[in-house]
Amino acid sequence: MNQGAVLIAAEPLKKFATDILTAAGMPPDDAENEAEVLVWANLRGVDSHGVMRINLYMKDIDSGLMNPKPEIKVLKETPATIFVEADHAFGAVVTTFAMERVIEKARKLGIAWGLIRNNTHQGALGYYAWMAAKQGLIGVVAVASGPNTAPFGAKTMGVSNNPIAFSLPTASYNPVVFDMATSVVARGKLRLALENSQPIPEGWAIDKNGNPTTDPSNAEALLPAGGAKGSGLSFVIECMASVLAGAPIVAPVLKGRRSTENLQNSFVMAVDIATFGDVDEYGKNVDEFINCFADLPPAEGFSKVMAPGMPEWAIWEERSKNGIPIAEGTARNLRAVASRFGVPLPVEMR
């Protein structure tokens, strides 16, 4: 834990986040939902998508980008799909809305697809995929936003690094939650290096001249994971989310017709396992695959091989028991926001 960090249990942290979000204008149920997703990320060790976002979200409410009281509208609907206008909703609010309906539809038909237009920062995507897996369905979620990554063979940005998440039911483990960005590293890692004045490895990013850089302050564009693979996946996700929603982002930004403001589009999908076979058997087979990973001999530099998402569940266990460390800077920002809205601080942060 960093110098100056405080440890807070998940429940009081969730309560605190809910109180701030409510005070900032969100209906209490929506605030609780958003707080739940933020603290879920903290519990899994993904602090870049945890309560540190609250301070940024407050600025986005002030600027009018994020809408604490959106009019979420179902634009189109079939028994297997739903197309939702988010009206700048918080990510958790509209994505939970869409995924709940998609799960319901998938239970009846085996598969369902939700398309979300004009949402804002979505937080930890894995959460929404996990919603499906907890109920015996496979969940998939992906998001499309503005360009930040150089396509394969280019020396300037031309795709987003579209995060995508999958979740799979298990029998005795926590559901598999696998999420990835299509860039070599997520932007959060660059931000962290920048904050700590640390160099970044070559291969993460290029500078404004298209040359490799190890200085995060010169990083202009991320590089795609696996070269043509990461950049091809990005192309496809933009076209399966933003373009499908009639709201392309990357090309209009590159053409100068649209700003890189933080609006996003995304899709959520669920596949119902019971439509094809036995859910318990499915879970046992996924468990066996997880166990196979643990049995593999580790490569040099690794102490064990873990199935996707398992390292984060290990952090979850630890933090559920010992509390969530809130870094000094985050705690300072949260105290300021709490003071602004007159929300009482958890005892640990006082």
Q: Which of residues 227-266 bind a copy of itself (CB under 8 A)?
A: 228-233, 235-236, 238-240, 243-246, 248, 250-251, 254-255
Q: Quick count: other Cβ atoms within 10 Å of Cβ 209? A: 10
Is residue 73 at the binding interface for a copy of itself, with CB under 8 A as the rule? Answer: no
Compute the distance between CA of residue 278 and CA of residue 169 in angstroms, rounded to an integer.
12
Q: Which of 70, 126, 151, 346 binds a copy of itself (CB under 8 A)?
A: 151
Is residue 10 at the binding interface for a copy of itself, with CB under 8 A as the rule? Answer: no
Compute the distance between CA of residue 101 and CA of residue 309 in angstroms, rounded to an integer.
25
Q: Which of 37, 43, 46, 115 binds a copy of itself (CB under 8 A)?
A: 115
Is residue 278 at the binding interface for a copy of itself, with CB under 8 A as the rule? Answer: yes
By C-alpha distance, which of 303, 340, 346 is closest to 59? 340
Is residue 190 at the binding interface for a copy of itself, with CB under 8 A as the rule? Answer: no
Is residue 166 at the binding interface for a copy of itself, with CB under 8 A as the rule? Answer: yes
Phi-psi domain of 87 (left: phi exceeds 0; alpha: psi -120 through 50; beta: other) = left
Q: Which of 5, 10, 23, 111 binds a copy of itself (CB under 8 A)?
A: 111
Stretch that binds a copy of itself, among 45-53, 86-94, 295-303, 321-329 (CB under 8 A): 295-303
Stretch that binds a copy of itself, among 105-113, 196-204, 320-328, 332-340 (CB under 8 A): 105-113
- Burial label for 322, CB within 10 Å (0-12, 13-18, 19+), is exposed
DSSP class of residue 196 equals T
Please identify, using beta-carbon distances, which residue of 52 and 310 lies nearer to a copy of itself: 310
Spatial contact of 295 and 307, defined as CB atoms under 8 Å apart: no
Is residue 107 at the binding interface for a copy of itself, with CB under 8 A as the rule? Answer: no
Spatial contact of 105 and 80, defined as CB atoms under 8 Å apart: yes
Stretch that binds a copy of itself, among 21-29, 74-82, 316-324, 334-342 (CB under 8 A): 74-82
Q: How far is CA 33 from the centre of its chain?
A: 15
Is residue 275 at the binding interface for a copy of itself, with CB under 8 A as the rule? Answer: yes
Stretch that binds a copy of itself, among 49-57, 58-66, 276-284, 334-342 (CB under 8 A): 276-284
Q: Which of 12, 25, 110, 188 binds a copy of itself (CB under 8 A)?
A: 110
Q: 169 to 188, contacts with a copy of itself by CB under 8 A? A: 176, 178, 180, 184
Is residue 153 at the binding interface for a copy of itself, with CB under 8 A as the rule? Answer: yes
Please identify, using beta-carbon distances, which residue of 69 and 302 lies nearer to a copy of itself: 302
Compute the distance between CA of residue 88 and CA of residue 297 in angstroms, rounded to an integer.
47
100 Cβ partners below 8 Å, 6+ apart? 131
CB of 110 to a copy of itself, least distance (A): 4
Is residue 201 at the binding interface for a copy of itself, with CB under 8 A as the rule? Answer: no
Stretch that binds a copy of itself, among 26-34, 89-97, 269-277, 312-320 (CB under 8 A): 269-277
For 81-117, the DSSP string reads: EEEEE-TTB-HHHHHHHHHHHHHHHHHHHSEEEEEEE
Q: 300 to 339, contacts with a copy of itself by CB under 8 A? A: 300, 302, 304-309
For residue 233, CA distances in Å to 41, 80, 185, 245 come to 24, 24, 15, 18
